[in-house]
Homo-oligomer: A and B are copies of this chain.
Amino acid sequence: MVQIFGKRAVKSGLPPGTLVHIGQKRSDRVKITVTEYSEGQYQSREIKEIKECLPLKDEPVTTWIDINGIHNLETIEYIGRQFNLHPLILEDIVNSEQRPKVEDLGKNLFVVLKSLSYDLEKKLDIEQISFIIGSKYIITFQENSEDIFQPVKTRIKNSTERIRAMGADYLAYSLLDAIVDNYFVILEEIGTKLDSLEEELVANPTRETLHSIHQLKREMLLIRKSIWPSREVINSLQRGELPFFGEIAAMHLKDVYDHTIQVIDIIETLRDMLSEIMDIYLSSISNKINDVMKVLTIITTLFIPLSFIASVYGMNFKYMPELGWRFGYPAVLFTMLFLGILMLVFFRKKKWI
């Protein structure tokens, strides 16, 4: 639940533009990684304070500042002053319950996306990643999802990779691509869960199964809410109406857009499958009740008439001629046997056994 509302409401009543970190604080320290590269050059270092790298030097390199720890408001404010960002933008960066969106700020571009992962206890973890994209620099803000950008960092390090020869726009594309690619990993994990749920349903559905179905449904709800708006964000990037994106990066963004649509397609299919599985669960419960009812009815219908006959001959009337008959007892037993068989034939005809 926390993931939907966090503490957004704490801000109610504060003047607009007040920086308040909303979301889970994952670590006490802030980790800032500065990567500078051009075709021939590469340097990556971790710094303690943002002041060490700002203002940017006027060199022909692409600079990527990756900030881990948006709870550190001083860093955010310092960047805001350096890049002349509106307080409302800074507010959006530290409010991790922002909706994915893109805003053209004139001198740079502000993009918010969501990254998904499963934490150590296998709970879905939705993280917000904000981008400030300039012509020669990119600043990424997150609380704690460094891993997702690791492949991009590795590629930049490797001087033979294409990315080294390209500018900040291509870097932006690579980072967005990394986020969207990661969605596939999460959805595949969910697909696997769904498969095993389905097997459980066929083999032996328990209350645990139902609980898992509902949990998965809840997760799909959150994932859908996080990813749907991304579509519009990436679409407006790839339409090329926004600055900073050269032709090559734009063409690659079209690919990212295709992937986003595919992700949404998969989400919808998974949702359909989940309700399908829920239906199967419900009809299996229904079937079970039916089964139990049948057994109950067969046993009752079989024995109640027979018991009645027995209790008739258990009456203590003085004058019950049958009781004195030589073969009364076996005759009654045979009658009962015959009645029982008749019943069984009736059940067979009714397709109950």
Copies of this protein in the complex: 5
Q: What residues of chain B lie closer than 8 Å to A84, measured between beta carbons? A: none
Complex Cα distance, B16 from A162, in Å, reads 10
Determine whether A272 belongs to the interface, using a CB cutoff of 8 Å to chain B.
yes
Could you tell me the dominant secondary structure of chain A's interface residues? helix
Q: What residues of chain B lie closer than 8 Å to A217, measured between beta carbons? A: 276
Known: A15-B163, A155-B15, A323-B317. A283 touches B210 (CB 8 A): yes
Question: Which residues of A247-303 are within 8 A (CB) of B?
Answer: 251-252, 255, 258, 261-262, 265-266, 269, 272-273, 276, 278-283, 285-297, 299-301, 303
Q: Check B317–A313 contact: CB distance below 8 A.
A: yes
Q: Check A221–B99 contact: CB distance below 8 A.
A: no
Determine whether A178 belongs to the interface, using a CB cutoff of 8 Å to chain B.
yes
Q: What residues of chain B lie closer than 8 Å to A4, measured between beta carbons? A: 191, 266, 269
Determine whether A40 belongs to the interface, using a CB cutoff of 8 Å to chain B.
no
Q: What residues of chain B lie closer than 8 Å to A296, measured between beta carbons? A: 293, 296-297, 300-301
The bracket for how many chain A residues form the interface is: 35 or more
Q: Check A278–B279 contact: CB distance below 8 A.
A: yes
Known: A86-B251, A266-B5. A181 touches B11 (CB 8 A): yes
Determine whether A118 belongs to the interface, using a CB cutoff of 8 Å to chain B.
no
The stretch of A72-80, A235-243, A324-332 that contacts the partner chain = A324-332
Q: Check A320–B316 contact: CB distance below 8 A.
A: yes
Known: A5-B191, A195-B1, A289-B293. A214 touches B315 (CB 8 A): no
Closest to A261 in B: B99
Complex Cα distance, B190 from A5, in Å, reads 10
Q: Check A290–B290 contact: CB distance below 8 A.
A: no
| Other-chain residue from B188, B265, B304, B332 in contact with A9 (beta carbon distance below 8 A) | B188
Known: A4-B191, A306-B308, A352-B292. A265 touches B99 (CB 8 A): yes
Q: What residues of chain B lie closer than 8 Å to A16, measured between beta carbons? A: 173-174, 177, 252, 255
Determine whether A31 belongs to the interface, using a CB cutoff of 8 Å to chain B.
no
Q: Check A301–B295 contact: CB distance below 8 A.
A: yes
A-B contact pairs, 8 of them (CB 8 A): A1-B191, A13-B150, A88-B255, A99-B262, A221-B269, A225-B265, A299-B304, A311-B314
Q: A291-B350, A299-B301 are in contact. List 14 more A-B contacts (CB 8 A).
A: A4-B191, A4-B266, A8-B188, A16-B173, A16-B255, A99-B262, A214-B280, A217-B276, A225-B269, A293-B296, A295-B350, A307-B307, A314-B314, A318-B323
Residue positions of A touching B, CB distance < 8 A: 1, 4-5, 8-9, 11-17, 86, 88, 91-92, 97-99, 101, 150-151, 155, 161-163, 173-174, 177-178, 181-182, 184-185, 187-188, 191, 194-195, 204, 207, 210, 214, 217-218, 221-222, 225, 251-252, 255, 258, 261-262, 265-266, 269, 272-273, 276, 278-283, 285-297, 299-301, 303-308, 310-320, 322-329, 332-333, 336, 350-352
